[in-house]
Structure formats: structure tokens, C-alpha cells
Amino acid sequence: MSSPDDRSDIAADIPENSEFSEISNDNGGVSRRNFLKGSSVALTIPLIAKGEKIVKAGGAEVKVLGPDKVNITLNINGAQRTASVETRVTLLDTLRNELDMTGAKRVCDRATCGACTVVMDGKPVYACTVLAVDAQGKSIQTVESLDQNGNLHPVQQAFVDNDAQQCGFCTPGFVMACKALLDKNPSPTQEEMEMGLGGNLCRCGTYNGIKGAVAQASQEMKKTRTMKGGRGNG
């Protein structure tokens, strides 16, 4: 006979008798995982009243959030969006489940596949591995912002023209990774492209089309830049 499956998670590495777990027990029976996620946040984010607690850790008083839901404000595609989420909830799940922005996909949910890629302060990030509370105060750009008035962004158009998609489930992530790459490096070499898109996976096997799409989008974006007098096209 044995006990039920205790699914491993990041907190499983913390010994039962550590300071962390003692405090988490003081904190109303929060699971270790919740506490860890909450505590990792508290030291880095600005003051938020709701759901905040002061606990002792390592002899010092620190602020933690959770386990209850907290109100957060996210700057997404230039607009302030609010949501009420537990501190353990990721940016990805907040976008998808709270804000109905489902372009970013949940696939591996642990920083392997890139399907959840969004751009945060100009850099592509895995939204499945960013806590929503940590994303506050950052500028977040999602795939939904790329097409304007029915006109696709050159990266998107290039994906369509080169048939760089089949089922399309990986596509929004690739589009964002590709855009972030080209914004930074308008003419990537083969190696730079492989690096830039190396954090994304496709199961249907669309890489051949994606390579073509990067080449086309690179050309198009350079043209646009020149037309706009050297400015990027956002």
C-alpha cells in the first residue's frame, strides 16, 4: 500500500523543516508551493494593499502576497487591464483565463516550447513562467496587438505567404518570437535566426515555412523602416 501521488513541483525541493515551511504553516496552512510563489514576489513588487501580509523569514520581516487573490493591473498592448488572481497564477493564465486574450497558448507550461511567447519590455518572454503579479509595471505586448485595422503585420503576412503554419497552435508564439528577433536584428544570419527562434517548438513541422517567413518579413520590415525614416514599425 502507498499514499496518493504527491506530484512534484518546484516546492518539492524545500525540506519540510525549513524556515519557509514553518512560516507557510503560520500563514494559515498555505501549501509550500503557494507560499514560495508568493514569497518570491513580495521582495520585488511595489506595494499592493489587498492580500498583503507581513511574515518573518530568516529573522526579518518581509511582505508576502497571497494566498488570497490580489488585484493586479497589467499594461497590455498599451492599455491598463485589471484582474484579481492568486499570486501563484502566471501571466499566461491571467491573459487566457481572466482577460480572454488567448493568442498566447499553454502547451508545455514550463518554459520549453515558446507557444506562450509575449514581449515584455521589448524582450520575448515565456508567459507561462512569469507570475502575473511580477508582470505589473512592465509593458506587455501580445500577438493580438500586431494586426491593425485588418492589416497583418509584415511578420504575420510572411507566415501566411510562406504557409509557416499548419494546425497553427504554435504560430502566435513563433510570430511574437520572430517579431522580437527582427525588431532587434533586422537581418539575422541563419545562425542568429536559429538562436532567436530556438526557444519555440512546432509539432506539425512548419520550420521550412518559418525560415522563408523570416526572410520575407526581414525584407518587408526593412522597407517599412526606410519609408518611415529609419524608425521601427512597432
Distance of closest approach, residue 151 Cβ to ligand FES, in angstroms: 23
Pick the closer one to ligand FES by CB: 43 or 160: 160
Distance of closest approach, residue 114 Cβ to ligand FES, in angstroms: 5
CA–CA separation, 83 vs 105, rounded Å? 19
Q: Given the rule CB under 6 A, which residues bind ligand FES?
A: 106-109, 111-116, 126, 128, 165-171, 202-204, 206
Question: Angle CA(226)–CA(171)–CA(160) in degrees, nearest 5?
Answer: 55
Size of the chain in residues:
234
94 binds, among ligand FES, another protein, none (CB under 5 to 8 A by kind): none
Pick the closer one to another protein by CB: 112 or 224: 112
Work out whether the CA dihedral 29, 30, 33, 35 comes out positive or negative: negative
Q: Given the rule CB under 8 A, which residues bind another protein?
A: 1-7, 31, 86, 88-89, 93, 96-97, 100-110, 112-113, 115, 142-144, 146-147, 152, 156, 159-161, 163, 165-172, 175, 193-195, 197-198, 200-211
Residue 92 region by backbone torsions, left for phi larger than 0, else alpha for psi between -120 and 50, else beta = alpha
Pick the closer one to another protein by CB: 10 or 226: 10
Distance of closest approach, residue 229 Cβ to another protein, in angstroms: 27
Pick the closer one to another protein by CB: 62 or 201: 201
Pick the closer one to another protein by CB: 48 or 118: 118
- Read off the C-alpha cell for 63: 511582505
Q: Which residues of 160-187 are buried (b: 16+ CB within 10 A; e: fewer)?
A: eebebbeeeebbbbbbbbbbbbbbeeee
137 binds, among another protein, ligand FES, none (CB under 5 to 8 A by kind): none
Q: What separation in angstroms does the CA of 217 have from each of 11, 120, 147, 159, 227?
A: 42, 21, 14, 8, 15
